Amino acid sequence: MSIASLSREVWQFRDFIIASIKREFVSRYQGTQFGIFWPIAQPLALIVIYTLVFSEIMRPSLPGHPSRFAYSIYLTAGLITWTLFSDLLSRSVAVYVQNGALMKKVSIHPIAFPVIATASASIHFAIIGVLFLGFLIAIGHFTGLAILGILPVLAILILFALGLGVLLGTINVFYRDVEQSTGIILQFWFWLTPIVYPPESVPVAVRSMLSWNPLWPLVRAMQDIFLSHRFPDWPSLVYPLLVALGLVTVGRAAFNKLAHELVDEF
């Protein structure tokens, strides 16, 4: 199935997709007293905690960054990037199994569900991102025009997570251990990505191994934007872009081959 055909399928079920995104967002906080306050409160609390702990109590330093908020910004920029990636990947891997009963009852193209997962994860990222920008403005550390560099970085990140997620999600329908394994792999992947620690703190040999991690250039690009107020090193994004395109190609091929068998497995 071509990309144009998939786009038509997605557009055909746009009302279902929009309604599902709204339902997912509302159901997460339904029954709570403060409702819409919680999507804001949770990421805001994390930003406050990181700021207090790392700028006022532990006061770690980053080479070349004398600001007392430098490590807090470095850490938060990496964490929000990682959160979007892991959230989207986890959702995509489980999306077909979780919606198997619905797929049997309603004639909906399976590709609609990864689209819903992408939109939902992106909304939560946008909430955290806006709060983080507000924090940067409050401390006088706004990124300026470099903020525009976020868009291509996020595009590659989403493409990467979605391509891998659709591939693993399709396999997960037939081998349910994939979802459980993904959670474990993500734990190792997190620590193999310089988010909590700067890359300069690890031995050169280890740093050369980390360079094979396609997520590292994307995290580093976000850290450069928020901390150093500079656009990403564009050549460094070629590697994760190629990996993302490769995963999308393989994921699409696997999906096209097995799409007609997905519903039969539930």
- What residues make up the domain containing 227? 3-265
127 token code pair:
């909430």
* pLDDT over 70 percentage in the chain: 86
44-90, pLDDT tens digit by residue? 777 777 777 766 665 666 777 777 788 888 988 998 999 999 999 99
Average pLDDT of span 179-198: 91
Give the per-residue pLDDT at 58: 58
Element (H, E) at 184: helix 177-191
Q: Which residues of 211-244 are buried (b: 16+ CB within 10 A; e: fewer)?
A: eebbbbbbbbbbbbbbbeeebbeeeebebbbebb
- Residues 259, 266: Cα–Cα separation, whole Å: 13
- Which residue is it, tokens 């401390």? 139
5 falls in which pLDDT band (50, 70, 90)? low
- Residues 18, 4: Cα–Cα separation, whole Å: 20
Give the per-residue pLDDT at 34: 57
What Cα–Cα distance (Å) separates residue 46 from each residue in 43, 86, 144, 198? 5, 17, 24, 20
Give the per-residue pLDDT at 210: 85
What Cα–Cα distance (Å) separates residue 122 from each residue in 81, 86, 172, 220? 11, 12, 23, 19
222-258, pLDDT tens digit by residue? 999 999 999 999 999 999 999 999 999 998 888 888 8
* Total-model pTM: 0.88
What burial class does residue 3 get, using C-beta atoms within 10 Å of its C-beta: 0-12 exposed, 13-18 middle, 19+ buried? exposed
Number of domains in the chain: 1
Among 77, 69, 102, which Cα is nearest to 194's? 77
